[in-house]
Each structure stands twice: as C-alpha cells, then as structure tokens.
Amino acid sequence: MKFLILRNSFLSGRKSFCVLRTIHKQIKPPFFLSLTSTKTHFIKTALRHLLIACLLLGSLYSKAGMKDSVYAYILASDIKHPEIVLKQAILETGWFTSKLLMKRNNLFAFRATKKYMRFDTWQQSIEYYKKWQLDNYTNPKENYYSFLRRKRYARHPDYIKTLKGIRLTRSEGSPQPETKKPPHK
C-alpha cells in the first residue's frame, strides 16, 4: 500500500496549487483536485475524502482489531476472568461501536454519579476495571457471573444471560487463553 502525501501552497487570494505525490514518485493530481480549484473548495474536498478514509479504516479496525487489542491488554493486566471481562466490554460498547462510550474511552460504561466517566485512553478504562475488580472481587471461589449480579454491575435483569450468549471468535494471531487439555487415554 502506498501512502499519499498531500502538499499544497496557497497564494493569498489566488487559485491554489497542489501537488499530490506518493513516497516514491510524483503523480498527477486526481480528478477531485483540479489545479484551478479555490482554497475553500480544495479544503472541503480534501476533508471530505479524509473523513471517508477514516470512516472506512475505523470500521475495519473496530471489529476484530479492537477486540484483539482489548483482550491482549486485559490478559497483560492480569485481570481475573478475562473472557467474561472482554464480553462485558463488547456488550457495553456494542462491539466497540458506541460513539458515546468510545469517545470517552470508557469500555465498561463506568459512571461517576449519573454521567459516564471519561478516560484519556481505552487502556486506562481497563486499568480502572482492574482496580475495581481488586477492590470488589475478594472471594476468588465465587462464580464471576454471580459476583457481577451481586454487585449489581448492570441493572438489566438479562445482563448475565446476554453476557453468556456472546460468542467470541478470534481473528488469526489473537492471543489464546491458557487452557489445560485433558490427558490422552
């Protein structure tokens, strides 16, 4: 994939001149960037195409890439019951597509009073979950779903049932949980 570098120079009050080149060689400007376009038209067109590219890349990233990244960070953070915690993040964010929570980097819908908390990065929301888990999940023998119900993590009566119904399919190269295989007989 070649990356495009957009370079332009504006002369005050005159038509804009733009040069679009790849890293390796110069090419002619595409049809949507004419050499006679005005500054405003050029900026609007460039921003429109940048927005489309970001939306396309974001939709590709949000499904598998984000899930795998979140799961890897949950594992690295040594959070107990990582697959259930991943399912919580998936459920709360709608497979990482909730604009409300994702712009706040809040994967678990944590609230302070009645407003959703805001984190600088989604990793910080996982770290916050880890702290919450350490403070509240004090009996490792307790079933984690029972713990979530007891702590009233979510008020919806079908929350646990919905969590259990989420099927995690991994993309190639994603981390696998350690499982012990039964001995061969």
68 and 43 co-located in one domain? no
Question: How many folded domains does the chain comprise?
Answer: 2
- What is the CATH number for 83? 1.10.530.10
Per-residue confidence band for 113, with pLDDT thresholds at 50, 70 and 90: confident
Per-residue confidence band for 64, with pLDDT thresholds at 50, 70 and 90: low
Residue 173 forms part of a structural domain = no
75 and 45 co-located in one domain? no
pLDDT digits (tens, 9 = 90+) for 132-161: 999 999 998 999 999 999 998 888 889 999
CA 73 – CA 78 distance, rounded (Å):
9
- pLDDT (0 to 100) of residue 89: 94
Residue 40 sits in which domain range?
Answer: 4-56
Find all residues with CB under 8 Å of 93, minimum gap 6, and list them. Answer: 101, 102, 107, 109
